[in-house]
Structure 1
Amino acid sequence: MSSDYDFSDEEEYYDDEEAMDIEGGSASSEDDMGMDTYDDDIKVVPEARKTYEVDFKPLTHQDVKDLMVADIEYIRTIFGVDNDVAALLLRHMDWNRDRLTEKYMDNASSISTAAGVSPMLKPSYPGPDRSKRVTRSNKSSKKLEHTPFYEPFLCPICFDDTAADTLALSCARFRDEGEHRILCMAENCGVVALDPFVHKVLSEDEDTAARYDELLVRNYVACNKNLKYCPFPSCDRSVSCPAASSRSALSTVVPTVSCGADPKHKFCFGCHVDGDHRPVLCAIARMWLKKCRDDSETANWIKSNTKECSKCQSTIEKNGGCNHMTCKKCKYEFCWVCMGSWAEHGTAWYSCNRYDDKSGVEARDAQSRSRASLERYLHYYNRWANHEQSAKLSIELYMKTEKKMEEMQLTTDLTWIEVQFMKKAVDIVENCRTTLKWTYAMAYYLENGNQKAMFEDNQRDLEKAVEDLSELLEQPIEAESIPALRQKVTDKSVYVQKRNEILLEDTAKGYLEERWKWNVLVDNL
């Protein structure tokens, strides 16, 4: 890596709380980590969008409805039709204004019929002719008398003959599976109910009317390739991200977005993988998850929460996110990931993240090659699953941190705002563990060479920094050491966040420069 990417633990301590007001991965300009100093007399200028970020816009439910109204108004103006007819035409063409305009100009009658604005055929049951008269014989009279009367109306759908007056399409129904296109149920009739009629029928059923409106909005979002709903349960927000709307774009960018809710929900705009999977592309993330599912029986044992001490073979349970383990029986300090001595992890020889491929080179027969392939997979899967497990344990770490923050307030003169550095540090650790988790999926598919070696250098530096910060957060609180702890945690948090940005930035530039070579065929379609 360039010398610009070299940082030391002895970086200048930034006492200004703004230095910690960071949120990795956001596409907004709130991240001020690029500033070299934080002087109160210097105006902090927000950085431009980073290479690994994409432009996006969070939208509320009302924002989406406003976009719908704008499209309807556009078609109404061009075609000279009512708003309700324009909405029906747009829904028929999946809200594609340009395609609708082209088709409508070619044959307006055909499009109107297909959209359900005009009937395809004359209905088989047009309704009774109220002016029709029939005769009835009167047996009490010696001569025939003709008494006029009207024939009763019989609905051909529900066979109801009690209605004195009916509305057109009165038998239309809503489907439980979320149908928003209400067709006339009469035989050979393709007319679709307009929105004013549906709202009139549902005027006394507010819940169903609201459900109908929601279905219309969801249909609009589903048809618009630039929009996506937030996948988090009970969240009705959506996101606009035109930069990631094409499949070709997903070969050079990982479109992580946020819905803007409180708290913010991060997800990938390009695929259905939960959460943020930077720095790995959507196609690689899908391949990795599929492989993990296919090899789940082989890998289940590695996900166990217990391991044996490599020195005294005592069973040890991991109850925190830090990988620095100490056996309570023999006091041996080791790494939970590779089971090696922890003393070596603080030196320049640290290589816990790298896979030693010697076994694969020496493998000659099919059985040896198969075993080497499995060992290689388990190397990456073990580290991927470990960071995933550590991230899940972050809930416990948050609870422990809150208790420590309360303890700091009681034993020092620090305010609640001044002890927020602990919570911010936990947020950074959680974000970076998510990054590290997916770096192992990427490293598994990277072709061996200088580029992979540089990628693993960044991975190693970030991983070691995260472990150091995790260990600081899990230290017991002593009143006299709180000022020093505050400085160490703040310094290390800034450093860890910077390492995370370096890894994501370099990886994103690698996609644009086509530096990354894969050991498998990657299909982004």
Structure 2
Amino acid sequence: MSSDESDDGEDESEEVVAISPSEEQSDSYEVFTPEQIVSFMSKVIRETNSFLHFPKTTTRTILHGFKWNIENLLERYYDGSQDKISQEAHVESPFKKQPIKHAMNKLSKEDLQLEYCGICMNEQPSNNMGNAECGHWFCRNCLCEYLSLKIVEEGVSQTVEFLTFKCGVFFSDTTVLDLANDSKVLLKYHQLITNSFVECNMFLRWCPGVGCNNGIRLDNFSSLTVQCKCGEIFCFKCGLLGGHNPISCSIYNQWIKKCNDESETLFWFAVHKKLCPKCFVFIEKNEGCNHMIYERASCGYRSHL
């Protein structure tokens, strides 16, 4: 093989490596399975709780409100805004009181009393009542139906608010797991929490590939074109399949808008105008009737549009 042919072969191999996102950019992102995403979320909660020492659900709900930005949360926390942080996240402040346990379930039959449920308007034994961290009580059957409605039908997980008027406190994981007795409801609940974690976190994104359940975790924004293990290549920021290197998302969107505007302009010209074959002047239809006669003294051309 000649030296020229050898050089050409080296150039071709370099080009292949340069256009492969999996080889060139794999150090800037990771591909996670759904199970790994759940583990990563738990790890973030544990790391944050090493500073906050809150209940797990409280920490997760607060992190969700801060879009899982630990630095911003800790900055607010050490500024002395602990109670305000809990209030904005719609959780009961751990500094005020501990979550109320379901102690009614452990009472003896002699100690049981009838409690009034504000939903079904029936009196229920106290061991058949459920409560949230706010301390409001309703019968467990009504709470189970309410959770099923919010979680399964409405797709709400992070912000399932308690039923009392102007209560403002969200259900915790402990309360949901204690009250929900349907495996489908619990499965949907965990799926929604995981999905919310990915969509709310600026460093995570689901793969847009058909049938793919993987997620991408970006370590830095040095390169935004990523490749999932399923083979799908896309832009991490805007989700465009195939990516749009080397231009940014904003420049790509401007280019698409410009192309669409030009296409619409050409379509309008095709519908409303016709070019005179003699003087090359556009004839415009500017009234409602489709019948139009164009007359120009210099060329004497007549046309029906």
* TM-score relative to the length of structure 1: 0.38
Task: State the partner residue of 1:212.
Answer: 189
Per mean C-alpha deviation after superposition, the further-off stretch among 181-190 and 221-230 is: 221-230
1:230 corresponding residue in structure 2: 207
Give 1:60 deviation, angstroms. 1.7
Equivalent position of 1:194 in the other structure = 172
Identity value in percent: 23
Are residues 1:95 and 2:68 paired? yes
- Are 1:26 and 1:257, in contact at CA under 8 Å, matched by a contact in 2? no
Matched, 1:163 2:136: no
Deviating runs (4+, > 4 A) in structure 1?
Answer: 12-15, 297-300
Q: Is 2:242 the partner of 1:275?
A: yes
For 1:163, give the aligned amino acid: Q
Shift, 1:240, TM fit: 2.1
Residues 1:199 and 1:111: Cα distance change in structure 2 (over 3 Å): same
- Residue of structure 1 in register with 2:257 after alignment: 290
Describe the shift of the 1:235–1:200 C-alpha distance in structure 2 as closer, same or farther (beyond 3 A). Answer: farther
Q: How does 1:285-364 map to 2 (within 5 A)?
A: 285-297=252-264
CA RMSD of aligned residues (A): 3.8
Q: Is the 8 A contact 2:162 2:169 kept in 1?
A: yes
Trace 1:72-151 onto structure 2 (pairs within 5 A).
72-105=45-78, 106-118=80-92
Q: Which amino acid aligns with 2:84?
A: S
Give distance in 2, aligned partners of 1:272 and 1:115: 29
In the alignment, structure 1 segments of 5+ residues that lack a partner are 1-9, 30-48, 120-149, 301-366, 369-525
Shift of residue 269, structure 1, vs aligned partner: 1.4
Return the structure number with greater strand share. Answer: 2
Q: Which of 8, 27, 30 is the matching residue for 1:57? A: 30
Q: Which residue of 2 aligns with 1:42?
A: none
1:162, CA displacement in angstroms?
5.1
Alpha-carbon distance change, 88 to 210 in structure 1, aligned in 2, over 3 angstroms = same
- Counterpart of 1:260? 229
> Aligned with 2:177: secondary structure?
helix
SS in structure 2 at match of 1:63: helix
The amino acid that maps onto 2:167 is: C
Q: Which residue of 2 aligns with 1:183?
A: 161
Listed as ranges, the matches of 1:361-372 within 5 Å are none
SS in 1 for 2:116: coil
| Residue 26 of structure 1: aligned partner | 20
Shift of 1:151: 8.7
Q: Distance between the aligned counterparts of 2:17 and 2:210, measured in 1?
A: 23
| Distance verdict in 2 for CA 1:278–1:94, change over 3 Å | closer
State how 1:239-250 maps to structure 2 within 5 Å.
239-244=216-221
- Alignment check: 8 A CA contact 1:152 1:161 kept: no
Q: Secondary structure at the match of 1:240?
A: strand
Q: Aligned equivalents of 1:63 and 1:194: distance in 2?
A: 23
- Seen in structure 2, the aligned counterparts of structure 1 residues 178 and 295 have a Cα distance that, compared at 3 Å, is farther
Distance (whole Å) between structure 1 residues aligned to residue 185 and residue 263 of structure 2: 43
Write the mapping of 1:321-470 to structure 2, written as runs, cut at 5 A. Answer: none
Q: Deviations over 1:118-176 (max 9, x none)?
A: 17xxxxxxxxxxxxxxxxxxxxxxxxxxxxxx9954322x2341532211145343254
Q: 1:277 to 1:82 in 2, by over 3 A?
A: same
Q: In the alignment, residue 64 of structure 2 is paired with which amino acid?
A: R
AA at the equivalent of 1:166 = M
Contact conserved, 2:238 with 2:249, CA < 8 A, in 1?
Answer: yes
Is the contact between residue 85 and residue 194 of structure 1 (CA under 8 Å) also seen in structure 2?
yes
Kindly indicate whether the alpha-carbon contact (under 8 Å) linking 2:117 and 2:123 is maintained by their aligned counterparts in 1: no
Q: Secondary structure of 1:243's match?
A: coil
Deviations 1:8-59 (A, max 9, x none): xx835999xxx79x57633343xxxxxxxxxxxxxxxxxxx48xx9822222
Q: Pick the structure with greater CA Rg.
A: 1
SS in 2 for 1:58: strand
In structure 1, distance between residues paired with 2:253 and 2:202:
20
After TM superposition, the score normalised by the length of structure 2 is 0.63
8 Å CA contact 1:232–1:265 kept in 2: the answer is yes
Deviation, structure 1 residue 88: 2.6
Structure 2, unmatched stretches of 5+, are 94-111, 133-139, 268-280, 283-305
